[in-house]
Amino acid sequence: ESAAQAEELLPLLQALADMSSANEASLGKLDSIAGDGDHGQGMVLGSTAALKAAKQAVAAHAGTSTLFDVAGAAWSEGAGGTSGALWGAALRELGTMLSDDQAATEDRLGRAAIAAARRFAQLGEARPGDKTMVDATAPFADELTARLDAGDDLATAWAAAARAATKGAESTADMVARKGRARTHGTASLGHQDPGAVSFALLMSGLADRLAN
Ligand code: ADP
Ligand code: MG
Ligand code: MG
């Protein structure tokens, strides 16, 4: 099994930044229905800051743990907002789960991604059904766990988990928000997906494509 060095993980962070930019306008529009319209901007600022910090870490010969630690801190700081704090914490969890000394094998990366996806619910104190990104992150973590436990390789398991996240995000259209800013907008968001769930599903689907190649 191949093990990734910190430098080899930069394209994944680059992909997050690229996909955030490509979807900035639509995510902002979605967030303006029952929010403040800044979700696309927050994702771009966060992912761009994370990529920049990660590049600097690699230039300074950092390991995979340090890479995600500094990237997570930069994401929170760069993005601001609720989702930025959660994304930053999730990336820092990757840093906690990985080691600068041990190689980031596929299995370690997969297990770290599960722990990172679980951070969104822990920190946000949201549950499935509250109409937040947790409606995408929880099914993602559940499916990734089930597939890795069943012996799937990371790319196959990730693709299935990303499909579960997309289904989860779609299910939020029928929900009324019980957490976050949208909670104060009553039923305004009915019929529309939660922006944070949509962006999470989009980014995980994009990573699935990279991992497959
Ligand atoms: P803000 O609401 O601060 O402007 P964003 O617009 O960047 O932040 O992100 C909004 C998204 O954050 C929501 O669509 C939702 O998915 C997510 N969110 C809000 N509150 C919570 C929470 N308590 N737990 C998990 N996710 C949350
Ligand atoms: Mg917002
Ligand atoms: Mg905001």
ipTM score of the complex?
Answer: 0.99
Protein residues with CB under 6 Å of any ligand 1 atom:
31, 35-36, 38-39, 42, 81-84, 86, 120, 124-126, 132-134, 179-181, 194-197
- Counting from 1 in the atom list of ligand 1, the atom nearest the Cα of 196 is 16
Residue nearest to atom 14 of ligand 1 (CA): 196
Distance 71 CA to ligand 1 centre (A): 20
Q: How confident is the model at residue 186 (pLDDT cuts 50, 70, 90)?
A: confident
**Segment 181-197 mean pLDDT:** 88
Q: How confident is the model at residue 2 (pLDDT cuts 50, 70, 90)?
A: low
Q: Which of 83, 131, 175 to mutate to test the pocket of ligand 1 (most atoms within 8 A of CB)?
A: 83
- Taking only the tens place, the pLDDT of each residue in 17-28 is 999 999 999 999
Q: Spell out the domain ranges in the chain.
A: 3-212
Distance 133 CA to ligand 3 centre (A): 15
In DSSP notation, the chain reads --EE-HHHHHHHHHHHHHHHHHTHHHHHHHHHHHS-S-HHHHHHHHHHHHHHHHHHHHHTT--HHHHHHHHHHHHHHHH-HHHHHHHHHHHHHHHHHS-SSS-EEHHHHHHHHHHHHHHHHHHHT--TTSSSTHHHHHHHHHHHHHHHHTT--HHHHHHHHHHHHHHHHHHGGG----SSGGGGGTTTTTTS--HHHHHHHHHHHHHHHHHH-
- Counting from 1 in the atom list of ligand 1, the atom nearest the Cα of 194 is 14
pLDDT over 90, % of the chain: 89
- Taking only the tens place, the pLDDT of each residue in 33-91 is 999 999 999 999 999 999 999 999 999 999 999 999 999 999 999 999 999 999 999 99
In the CATH scheme, what architecture does the domain 3-212 have? Alpha Horseshoe (1.25)
Q: Beta partners for 104?
A: 4
Distance 149 CA to ligand 1 centre (A): 30
pTM of the complete model: 0.97
